[in-house]
Amino acid sequence: MTSPSQTAATKSDPPGLDSKGLKKTKDGKDGELVGRSPGQLMWRRFKRDRTGVICAVIVLAFFVVAALAPVIASVYGKNPYTFYGNEDPSLFDEFGYPMGANGGISGDFWFGIEPALGRDLFTSLIYGMRTSLGISVAVTILVVITGTLLGVTAGYVGGRTDYWLGRVIDFLLAFPSQLTFVAFMPVVVAFFIPPGDETPTYVRVVALILVQWALGWMGLARLLRGQVLSLREREFVEAAKITGASPWRIIRKELLPNVVTPILVQATYMLPLFVTAEAGLSFLGVGIMEPTPDWGRLFHTAGMVYENDPTFLLFPGAAMVIFVLCFNLLGDSVRDAFDPKSGR
């Protein structure tokens, strides 16, 4: 006979586990203990967060569309460089605005056309996303690498190294980022191209990456410095020192695995910030210039025509809001998955 307490315990057991947390075999006997790594536990917590999963899918869709922009444009049959208004003047009214409703949206032009020039807005948007996301991903990777190396080095080595790196970080943090971006972009471009010559797009891309990288790594470095200052006094670091481990091995094997969480979380917060910063520079006329499609250039054009064609702002604006919102929510979900005790 089975006692009521045993029956209740059996009903509450997870599938495949008994009341002692042991894995059950086919014959019902106790098997080996089931253990999960921190990464597996994080993944299980993340999958239970519906908001995080949905946002991850949306963010991934943005990157896939941006990466496949040439393929999508080829299937669609349009490109962001052709002036379709010159090929078909009936697309515009006498003032140069689209004849069709809602900015010229039709079966031929899914998102409408650009006033005066007649460029296709759909392909301009996906190519603009490709430009902005590509630059922002490159900046984020450089910032994470630089901030991690300098922050961990300053926190572990200490002494004069920590002091001087701290002063450099304080000095760079004193610059207002947006104003500094605007002021330094022409200066950086002038290093590559003589005044008066036309600036190639790749030079502007390199300049955008360099300026944002130079002024974007300090926050992560300061955060990791504080983390490492507390970690270097822990018992496992002292044990590694006693065994004769080199500083590089201690940093690589003992410290870096314990700061992966803040690195990943900060990266998910930084990338949308760099996207909006890049778009802002192009909007102000110091980033990507015509005829290269860019998210910021679309906002710049929309700002000039919104009174007569408000629909032109709808799709670029909605895409930017959705991307930034989903990436920020994804960052919250990643943080909660790594550290379940943190509350939103």
Query: Residue 81 and residue 83: Cα distance in Å, rounded?
Result: 7
Q: What is the pLDDT of residue 342?
A: 53
Q: What is the pLDDT of residue 250?
A: 83
Which residue has 């490492």 as its token pair? Answer: 228
Euclidean distance between the first and final Cα of the chain, in Å?
Answer: 49
Query: Residue 154 and residue 162: Cα distance in Å, rounded?
Result: 4
Q: What is the pLDDT of residue 25?
A: 45
Helices (H), the chain: 4-12, 38-48, 50-67, 69-76, 84-87, 101-104, 121-157, 159-173, 177-192, 201-214, 218-231, 235-242, 247-249, 260-284, 295-305, 311-338
Q: What is the pLDDT of residue 35?
A: 57
* 125 touches 298 (CB < 8 A): yes
Q: What is the pLDDT of residue 64?
A: 94
User: What DSSP letter does each residue of 173-240 carry, written as one string?
Assistant: HTS-HHHHHHHHHHHHHHHHS-TTSPPPHHHHHHHHHHHHHHTTSHHHHHHHHHHHHHHTTSHHHHHH
3-state DSSP call for residue 17? strand
| Furthest CA-CA distance within the chain | 95
The closest of 117, 116, 126 to 74, measured between CA atoms, is: 126
Judge residue 131's burial from the number of C-beta atoms within 10 Å of its C-beta, 0-12 exposed, 13-18 middle, 19 or more buried.
Answer: buried
Positions of the chain with pLDDT lower than 50, given as ranges: 1-14, 17-31, 33, 343-344
Q: What is the pLDDT of residue 285?
A: 80
Q: Which residues pair with 98 in a beta bridge?
A: 92
HEC assignment per residue over 104-123: HCCCCCCCCECCCCCCEHHH
Q: What is the pLDDT of residue 13?
A: 47
The closest of 225, 295, 224, 234 to 260, measured between CA atoms, is: 224
What confidence tens digit (pLDDT) does each residue in 236-269 have?
A: 888 888 888 787 888 888 888 888 888 888 888 8
Query: Residue 127 and residue 65: Cα distance in Å, rounded?
Result: 9
